[in-house]
Amino acid sequence: MAARLLALTVFLPVAGVVFWFALVYTVHRGAMAVPDLRGSTVEQARAVVHDLGMEIEIEETGVFSASIRPGAVAVQRPHSGFQVKVGATVTVRLSLGNERVAVPDIRGESLQSALRGLEGLNLPIGTRVGVDGHAGPDQVIATGPPMATEVPPGTEIDLLVNMTPREELWVMPSLMSRNVGLIRRFCGAHGLRLGQVHEVSYPGLASGMVLRQYPAAGSPLSRSDIISVWVSR
């Protein structure tokens, strides 16, 4: 009885060890570790998996990566070291390089609207340069880098902003020999500023006729200019 118990005590552990090794051998027979393909070109990765009897599948959607050069393998499934059977497929995604974002077209937008649009793309504002008379008030004229340029997120965008509105210009007409009443109506209808009316004694000419004007006929004229005339008395 004692001998039988001793044999049983020896048999059970030995049987367990034999069973474990048999199981491991069965599970891993023909299995191999997936190689690390990250950083490899497609040709290199394809050659490596082919030599191991595996297949490779490239997903169309790439991934942004700051550490892997564009076009190289950036992500793989299964990961390196994972045990697979011969003929298994390794799926990879290629690097798109550093993430890029296009500078939006904010030409003509107000400064506040442009700031909101750029902040939404993680593009902080750099230098702001103000000019006058090139567009509407507080409107963006240009950016640096130029609009539509692709830049990494976090790139500072310089802005050229118009501060005061562009001034409309006309050609000053000739007012000579016209009645001052007509001149007043003309200026009022076109939003022009008629300043002093100087009366000058001029015998033989009806009163109120323009003898001299400023600015002179043919000069550039804006709404802010003041028109002065000298008329007969």
pLDDT per position as a tens digit, 91-131: 999 999 888 899 999 999 999 999 999 999 999 999 999 99
Q: Which residues of 170-179 are buried (b: 16+ CB within 10 A; e: fewer)?
A: eebeebeebb
Q: What is the pLDDT of residue 1?
A: 56
**Number of other CB atoms surrounding residue 103 within 10 Å:** 19
- pLDDT confidence of residue 119: 92
State which amino acid sits at residue 153.
P
Angle at 28 between CA 23 and CA 32, to 5 degrees: 170
Instruction: Answer whether 68's CB lies under 8 Å from 39's CB.
Output: yes
State the pLDDT at residue 30.
65
Q: Which residues of the chain fall below pLDDT 70?
A: 1-30, 166
Q: Are 186 and 229 in contact (CB under 8 A)?
A: no
Q: 76: which residues sit within 8 A by CB, 6+ positions away?
A: 34, 36, 37, 38, 90, 91, 92, 93
The domains located in the chain, with CATH, are 2-94 (3.30.10.20), 101-164 (3.30.10.20), 170-232 (3.30.10.20)
CA distances from 41 to 45, 55, 67, 100, 114 (A): 6, 15, 14, 22, 41
Helix, strand, coil percentages (3-state) for the chain, rounded to 5, are 25, 35, 40
Please provide the DSSP assignment of 60-107 as one string.
Answer: SS-B--SSS-TTSEEEEESPTT-EEETT-EEEEEEB--S--EEPP--T
d(CA 184, CA 192): 9
180 contacts 197 by C-beta, under 8 angstroms: yes
Query: What's the distance, CA 144 to chain centroid?
Result: 11
